Amino acid sequence: MAVTKNESVLTRAIRTVFAKFGRHRMQLTVLGTFLVILAAFYIKDPAAFSTFALYSALLSLTPIMLILSMSETLIVINGDFDMSFPSIMGLSAMIFMFIFFSTGNSVIALLGALCVSTAIGVLNGVLVAKLGLPSLIATIGGLFLWRGVVTGITQGQNVIPGLRQTPLYSILVGELFGFIPVQTFWAIGIMILFWFVLNRHKFGAHIYCIGDNRESAKMMGINVTRTKILIFTLMGLFSGFAGVMNLLEMGIFFPSLGQNFFLPAIAAVFVGGTSPFGGEGTVFGSFIGGLILGLLEVGIPGIGFAGLWREMFFGLILIISLVIQASIRRRVR
């Protein structure tokens, strides 16, 4: 009798632990993948992977991608896609530069750039939510449109605006203690913000409901149109923010600014375990997913492959991630 009682307590304990972790199994898998890759790199080349320089390089552009991936995550959970963010980045960087040249004030320039990028986000939202356009295609339209505007206005020229001395430089992309890029903390801050929005706020609850079953959400009185417009607005805002950050970090404006983030930022969302069918996903997953891609980028030369192999590794990790996720989801159902 006593034995059965003990057993039942034990099985119950195991079941509780499993249930607790079970709910986060996707995030834990992504985190595990990251750690395995990091360990593999470290074993191959301990010297390179013990230097601050390498991690500094990792945290120079990766946080910008993380901000984009996490914003895209909200859109994907809600069941849509935004493809226009690289061009919004380019446009807001250009506007930042123009306002900075005419006023000399980097803060006003930032606000101006964010106003424009937010307005484009609203426009995307209206096209998708109010007019019912398919988001994937409508925002590809935006991708072409705004890039064309930028290259047309700047006549395809590169510009070195000289922004290193502005106060904004040290706030957005400077270095803390001389070696930690500040953009890292922006990315972490935005992750925490989005985590609260998604998990603890009504707005996030509605995003999940709409992504899971839009008709049900509508029947239960969720304002689908307003929620969607708001999500695209946030995407616009943070794309603009990332664009300005990228301009400051690179120190040079070029007409294709932002374009290099296009597919990696989207891939990071899916490496991070967010479902392309909506209703499922986490910003933590996208954060780690982005770190994985960033780590591959700096790590591949370190293990003796030329940087030219980068895309092959991106492709591999994306496909392997999807295979693992598919098997996890199958087990749940």
- Which residues form the interface with another protein (CB under 8 A)? 19, 23, 196, 200-203, 205-206, 208-209, 212-213, 215-222, 279-280, 332-333
Residues 271/65, Cβ–Cβ less than 8 Å: no
CB nearer to another protein: pick between 2 and 332? 332
Q: Sort 301 into a burial class: Cβ within 10 Å, 0-12 / 13-18 / 19+.
A: middle
Query: How far apart are alpha carbons 324 and 245 in whole angstroms?
Result: 34
CB nearer to another protein: pick between 151 and 223? 223
CB nearer to another protein: pick between 5 and 20? 20
Closest CA to 263 of 43, 85, 75: 85
Render 13-48 in DSSP notation, one character per residue.
HHHHHHHHHHTTHHHHHHHHHHHHHHHHHHHH-TTG
Query: How far apart are alpha carbons 286 and 271 in whole angstroms?
Result: 7
Least CB distance to another protein at residue 222 (A):
5
Residues 279/77, Cβ–Cβ less than 8 Å: yes
Least CB distance to another protein at residue 309 (A):
37
Query: At 126, which amino acid appears?
Result: V
Q: Which two tokens stand for residue 254?
A: 């070029």
CB nearer to another protein: pick between 158 and 216? 216
CB nearer to another protein: pick between 59 and 198? 198
Least CB distance to another protein at residue 134 (A):
22
CB nearer to another protein: pick between 222 and 269? 222
CB nearer to another protein: pick between 170 and 213? 213
Least CB distance to another protein at residue 119 (A):
24
Residues 56/180, Cβ–Cβ less than 8 Å: yes
Least CB distance to another protein at residue 74 (A):
16
Residues 150/91, Cβ–Cβ less than 8 Å: yes
Least CB distance to another protein at residue 226 (A):
13
Least CB distance to another protein at residue 201 (A):
6
Q: Which two tokens stand for residue 242?
A: 């990332």
CB nearer to another protein: pick between 44 and 201? 201
Least CB distance to another protein at residue 203 (A):
7
| SS3 label, residue 46 | coil
Q: Which two tokens stand for residue 309?
A: 């192999």
Query: How far apart are alpha carbons 99 and 161 in whole angstroms?
Result: 11
CB nearer to another protein: pick between 72 and 280? 280
Least CB distance to another protein at residue 28 (A):
17
Longest dimension (CA), the chain: 84
Closest CA to 239 of 75, 77, 100: 75
Which residues are within 8 A (CB) of 83 and not within 5 positions of it... i.e. 6 or more apart? 136, 139, 140, 142, 143, 262, 266
